[in-house]
Every structure is written in C-alpha cells, then in structure tokens.
C-alpha cells in the first residue's frame, strides 16, 4: 500500500519556515550593514508567518491566519521605526556600518 | 532515523559559509553548487520518504496536485533567502527579499490561504520593501565626502560596495550556531512524522466525511460540499479570516491600530530633520551635545 507522491505534511512547511528563520538569524548576526540587518529581521518574520499559516491549514483553525495580520502590523511598525532610526544614525556618522556604533556596547 | 536531515543541515551550513562574503579566496560559486545539490537531495529524500510511508491513502492530499508547487516555491524561497544574506549590495538584497515574499505567497496559495498571499504581496512586497528601498537610496554614499574617522570605508571607490558590505562578521560562528538551531528545529518538526509515517494532511473531503460529520461541509471547505443543501453557508478564505478577526480578536484589532499610530508618530519624530540644523552644510552632523539632538523636542 503506498501513499501517492501527492502528499504534503505539516513537517514540510515547518522545514521551510525553520530554514527561512535560521537564514534570517544568520544574516542578522553576520551582516554589518544596518539596513540589511533589519531586512533579515523581516525574513525571520517570514519564516514564522509560513509556520503559522501552515498550522492554520493543517489544524483547520483560521486563527493562525488572523495572527499573521497582527504579525504584519508589528512588522510594518517595526520597519517604520527602525528605518527612521537608521536614517538618524546615518546622518550622525555618514556610514551604515554597525561597527561604527560599537562604543554603545559598553 | 532521519540522519539525512542532519547530513543535509551540515552540508548546507558548509555551503552557506562558502557563499558568505569574505576576504581572500572566492568560494561563492562552489558554495552555490553545493547548496543547490543539498537542496535537491533534501527534496528527493522528502518526497521519497513520504512516498514509501504507507498508510491511509484516502486521507492524503492537501489539494489537487499541490505537491510540486510546494517544492518549487520552497526552493525559490530558500535560494532567494540565501542571496539576501550573501549579496554585497543592499539594493539587490532588498530585491531578493521581494523574491522571498513572492515565493512564500506561493506557499500560502498552496495552503489555501489566498487572503494571506495577496496581503503579503501588497503589504510586504509593495509597502515595506518600498520603504526599505527609499532608505537605501537616502543613505547611499553617492557624492558624499569621505568621512573623517570612519576607517571602515577606506578603499571603497565610487560605485563599489564599502568594506562593511563585503566582509561578513564572524561567519563561521554564526553559521554554526544557526544551523545547530536548525537541526534542533527539524528534529522537533519531524518527530510526529517519524512516529507515525501515515500522518499526512487529511484532505478536505476526508475530513468532511470522517471527522466532522455533524457540521455542514461548506464551513470547512468550499469545494468539499457534496450536495446543494450542504453548500448553503459557503465562506471563502477572506470571509473566514475576517469573521475570526472581528469576532474573536476585536481588542487586538484596536491595539494594532494604536500601535500603527504610535509608530507613525514615532517615525516622524525620530527621522525629522530640524530646519535650523539643516541649513548648515552637514545637517545634524555638526550639532554635538544633547541640545543638538532632534530627540529632545522643539526648544
């Protein structure tokens, strides 16, 4: 008895979500450009969103998709504030290098 | 056991490390080939392991022929994500991120979440990414005098990425930690599948027939209604999301509006350039001390 190849499980989508999250995390740690670092946080959001929609579909509970709307709201607010900060920091030092602000680490 | 998952994780980590921008030998091409091969092998393993699973074949299937689209969109998303974190120009990283958004929207279509797919394209691909591209444009180095004391830009000619874009910070440690996390996550995600290989997604028709027999079929899936009497309360995806949003989370909706307003005001306050300070040649650059910062409000 064999299941046809046309069968996806929740694990498939969790794999995609986990890979997107981890790639965003690695990018956040390794990149030194402030803008690209915040782009990587958006990629971590993408991984979480893929997982939430997959849970919503496989558990037949639409609340997962509702929470994606809230995640989108927070992502938009975070992008606006973070990019405002980036513009401010760029005006102060004329560079986007995160290392230029290393004196803030105490 | 799923040693194949761990092997793919380790080889993928090595490939990502090779693709990281570093000084010295260029191994990006080898890393790309290795990463593509790893992804292909992983896809082969996944599709085969589920084919050989055995079990309730009548319950299987997410939709009609959706499986190939999962593999295509997922590979696109992962490959574009790798390019986002390895590209040395921020504009191209942002454009590759648009590709990640589009591919995950395709995944949402596979999952039957049409409203989320279109909202993702409009909000992420349309609004947030335009903001990013604008900030990249505002913060470009074109025409800037070389800053004093910023040694990290030394050696960057016009049209060339500055040093902090071309060199990754601690790539080996970051890749190692990230992929250990990935291995743990995959172990958790695939544990139910390992215990019960027949645990596929039940198809809509099977759920209507076997599990939720007392409910009208149209509530669960619009396509699964068998006869016309069942099909009376047919709701599509957007209607169901809207009903859940406004019936179960009205407080969260109000709070989301407040958060958006606060962040709007906050972004204006943070990024505002004072008119008197902007009259000088350097903008806020020359204004030292706390009284010169724009954060203390108008005085």
Closest by CA to A82, choosing from A94, A90, A70, is: A90
- Residue B235 CA to residue B287 CA, distance in Å, equals 59
Position B122 pLDDT exceeds 60: yes
Q: What pLDDT does B238 receive?
A: 87
Residue B34 lies in a domain: yes
Q: Is the pLDDT confidence value at B83 over 50?
A: yes
User: Which of B94, B101, B170, B88 lies closest to A38 in space, CA to CA?
Assistant: B94
Flag whether B72 is in a domain.
yes
Please give the DSSP secondary-structure letter assigned to residue B230: T
Do B115 and B241 form a contact (C-beta atoms < 8 A)?
yes
- 3-class secondary structure, A97: strand
Q: Which of A40-49, A65-74, B51-60, B183-192 has the lowest mean pLDDT?
A: B51-60
Average pLDDT, chain B: 75
* CA B129 – CA B105 distance, rounded (Å): 15
Specify if B232 maps to a domain. no
Position B168 in a domain: yes
**A9, A38, A86 ranked by CB distance to B50: nearest:** A9
| Spatial distance between the Cα atoms of B126 and B104, rounded to a whole number of angstroms | 15
B123: left (phi over 0), alpha (psi -120 to 50) or beta: alpha
pLDDT in tens, B205-244: 566 666 666 665 555 555 554 554 555 467 788 888 998 8
pLDDT, residue B295, reads: 47
Instruction: Please state the ipTM of this predicted complex.
Output: 0.90
pLDDT of residue B168: 78
Domain ranges of chain A: 12-97
Query: Who has greater pLDDT, B50 or B157?
Result: B50
Collect all residues with Cβ–Cβ distance below 8 Å to A81 and sequence separation of at least 6: B263, B266, B267, B270
Whether B108 shows a pLDDT value over 80: the answer reads: yes
Asked if the structure places residue B196 within a domain, the reply is: yes
**Residue B292 within a domain:** no
Domain extent for B79: 1-143+161-201
**Residue B57 included in any domain:** yes
Residues B284, A92: C-beta atoms closer than 8 Å: yes
Does residue B37 surpass a pLDDT of 70? yes
CATH number of the CATH domain containing B128: 1.20.120.1200
Contacts of A12 in chain B (CB under 8 A): 46, 70, 74
Best interface-test mutation with A: which of B77, B110, B130, B249 has the largest number of A CBs within 10 A? B77
pLDDT at A47: 94
pLDDT for B262 equals 94
Going by pLDDT thresholds of 50, 70 and 90, the confidence category of residue B270 is confident
Nearest to B85 among A30, A58, A96 (CB): A30
The answer to whether B270 contacts A81, with C-beta atoms less than 8 Å apart, is: yes
Nearest-5° angle of CA B257, CA B258, CA B262?
Answer: 120
Do the Cβ atoms of B243 and B235 come closer than 8 Å?
yes
Six-digit token string for B264: 């709007």
Whether A2 shows a pLDDT value over 50: the answer reads: no
Sign of CA dihedral B24, B28, B34, B39: positive
The answer for residues whose C-beta is within 8 angstroms of residue A36's C-beta and 6 or more apart is A27, B84, B85, B90, B93, B165
Residue A101 touches chain B, beta carbons under 8 Å: no
CATH 1.10.287.3510 describes domain A12-97: yes
- Whether B175 maps to a domain, the answer reads yes
Split into its structural domains, chain B has a count of 1
What is the spatial distance between Cα B164 and Cα B274, in angstroms, rounded to a whole number? 29
> Residue B116 above 80 pLDDT?
yes
Contact B190, B49 (CB under 8 A): no
């Amino acid at each position: 008895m064999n299941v046809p190849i046309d069968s996806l499980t929740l694990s498939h989508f969790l794999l995609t979500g986990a890979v997107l999250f981890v790639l965003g995390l690695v990018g956040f740690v390794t990149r030194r450009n402030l803008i690209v670092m915040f782009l990587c946080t958006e990629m971590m959001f993408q991984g979480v969103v893929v997982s939430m929609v997959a849970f919503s579909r496989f558990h037949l509970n639409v609340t997962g998709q509702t929470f994606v709307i809230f995640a989108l709201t927070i992502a938009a607010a975070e992008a606006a504030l973070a990019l405002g900060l980036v513009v401010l920091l760029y005006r102060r030092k004329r560079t986007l290098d995160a290392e230029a602000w290393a004196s803030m680490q105490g | 056991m799923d040693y194949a998952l761990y092997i793919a994780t380790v080889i993928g980590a090595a490939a990502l490390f090779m693709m990281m921008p570093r000084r010295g030998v260029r191994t990006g091409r080898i890393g790309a080939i290795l990463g593509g091969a790893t992804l292909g092998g992983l896809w082969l393993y996944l599709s085969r392991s589920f084919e050989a699973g055995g079990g309730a074949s009548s319950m299987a299937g997410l939709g009609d022929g959706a499986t190939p689209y999962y593999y295509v969109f997922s590979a696109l998303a992962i490959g574009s994500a790798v390019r986002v974190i390895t590209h040395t120009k921020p504009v191209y990283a942002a454009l590759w991120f648009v590709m990640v958004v589009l591919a995950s929207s395709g995944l949402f279509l596979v999952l039957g979440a049409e409203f989320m797919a279109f909202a993702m394209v409009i909000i992420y691909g349309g609004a947030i990414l335009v903001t990013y591209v604008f900030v990249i444009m505002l913060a470009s180095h074109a025409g800037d005098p070389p800053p004093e004391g910023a040694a990290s830009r030394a050696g960057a000619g016009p049209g060339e990425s500055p040093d902090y874009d071309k060199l990754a910070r601690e790539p080996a440690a970051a890749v190692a930690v990230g992929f250990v996390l990935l291995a743990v996550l995959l172990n958790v995600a695939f544990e139910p599948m390992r215990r019960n290989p027949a645990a596929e997604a039940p198809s809509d028709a099977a759920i209507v027939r076997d599990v939720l027999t007392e409910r009208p079929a149209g509530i669960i899936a619009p396509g699964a209604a068998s006869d016309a009497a069942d099909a009376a309360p047919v709701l599509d995806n957007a209607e169901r999301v809207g009903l859940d949003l406004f019936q179960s989370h009205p407080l969260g909706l109000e709070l989301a509006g407040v958060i958006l307003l606060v962040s709007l005001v906050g972004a204006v306050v943070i990024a505002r350039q004072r008119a008197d300070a902007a009259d000088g040649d350097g903008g806020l650059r020359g204004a030292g001390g706390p009284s010169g910062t724009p954060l203390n409000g108008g005085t």
